[in-house]
């Protein structure tokens, strides 16, 4: 059992609710592995108290915090400084406190790319067009990361196209918006919706038009094997679960707060997966489909 000292470095995750988050578990694993004098704690904060809470953490000497639903846009507005990645993503999921100032960045896109590279060796964003389902904050971060990594064309698919069109305008470049997916030439399909999440309907989509070398990724991580991924594997396609994104997006924050560059490996993955068993799941109304820290 680790004992904290008067010099312990502190970080946590701000959300409302926040009980569903697996971030305290994964950061706790890294803290123990590296013998860091520190702690990472869940911080349930109501939206109307978010600004006060964050400034309180600064005053208390916290090193920083992750931000999850529904605070990412509020975090973006609160920051004294924003990274270029955060400005591109239009949201913040990682706060670093230095000299009384609040620095914000987004690691969702980084986490997604690292997860796909890990689970689909040899994959490159430049391999071909990508189709991304959904129009939430994590989708914008992933879309930006794909474009910046060399994706030649990206299609955003959302039943209500207005939100996706706003993302496309902000991102610029080769982005198309539609209400129905066209998969014939896609090298990558990404589900950024809640469909397929435990307690939600399955995503109904025909994968037969996808080329045999295509990659199918799901941001959902409860369940780990979604109906979409099961369908992809049955067709011989490479399938990427949402847990990898969750694990990899945590790396930059941990390094900034605790001064150690952590690694994602099988031991960490197994440790976090042990908390995803059905009897350990949070109420379905609050379980988030994307890697929301």
Catalytic annotation, residues: 72
pLDDT surpassing 70 at residue 278: no
User: Span 9-107+250-262: which CATH code?
Assistant: 3.40.50.10860
pLDDT digits (tens, 9 = 90+) for 218-270: 999 989 999 999 999 999 999 999 999 999 999 999 999 999 999 999 999 99
DSSP state of 293: -
CA 147 to each of CA 75, 86, 138, 280, 286: distance values in angstroms, whole numbers, following the listed order: 24, 15, 14, 37, 30
Per-residue pLDDT tens for 120-169? Answer: 999 999 999 999 999 988 899 999 999 999 999 999 999 999 999 999 99
In angstroms, the CA 25 to CA 42 distance is 10
Distance, CA of 137 to CA of 292 (rounded, Å): 10
In the chain, ranges of CATH 3.40.50.720 domains: 109-244
- CATH entry 3.40.50.720 includes domain 109-244: yes
pTM of the prediction?
0.92
pLDDT tens figures, 202-228: 999 999 999 999 999 999 998 999 999
């Amino acid at each position: 059992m680790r004992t904290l000292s008067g010099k312990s470095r502190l970080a946590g995750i701000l959300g409302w609710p926040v009980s569903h988050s697996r971030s305290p578990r994964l950061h706790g694993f890294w803290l123990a592995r590296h013998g860091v004098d520190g702690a990472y704690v869940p911080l349930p904060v109501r939206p109307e108290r978010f600004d006060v809470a964050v400034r309180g953490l600064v005053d208390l000497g916290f090193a920083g915090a992750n931000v999850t639903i529904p605070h990412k846009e509020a975090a973006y507005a609160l920051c004294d400084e924003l990274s270029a990645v955060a400005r591109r993503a239009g949201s913040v999921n990682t706060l670093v406190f230095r000299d009384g100032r609040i620095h914000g960045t987004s690691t969702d896109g980084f986490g997604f790319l690292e997860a796909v590279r890990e689970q689909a060796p040899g994959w490159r964003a430049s391999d071909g067009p990508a189709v991304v389902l959904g129009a939430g904050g994590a989708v914008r971060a992933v879309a930006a990361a794909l474009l910046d990594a060399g994706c030649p064309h990206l299609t955003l698919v959302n039943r209500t196209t207005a939100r996706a069109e706003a993302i496309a305008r902000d991102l610029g470049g080769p982005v198309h918006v539609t209400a129905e997916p066209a998969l014939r030439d896609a090298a990558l399909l990404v589900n950024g919706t809640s469909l397929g999440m435990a307690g939600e309907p399955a995503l109904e989509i025909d994968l037969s038009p996808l080329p045999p070398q295509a990659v199918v990724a799901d941001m959902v991580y409860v369940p780990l094997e979604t109906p979409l991924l099961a369908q992809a594997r049955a067709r011989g396609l490479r399938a990427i679960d949402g847990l990898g994104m969750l694990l990899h997006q945590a790396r930059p924050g941990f390094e900034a707060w605790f001064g150690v560059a952590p690694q994602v490996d099988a031991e960490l993955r197994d440790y976090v997966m042990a908390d995803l068993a059905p009897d350990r799941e949070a109420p379905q109304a609050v379980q988030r489909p994307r890697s929301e820290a």
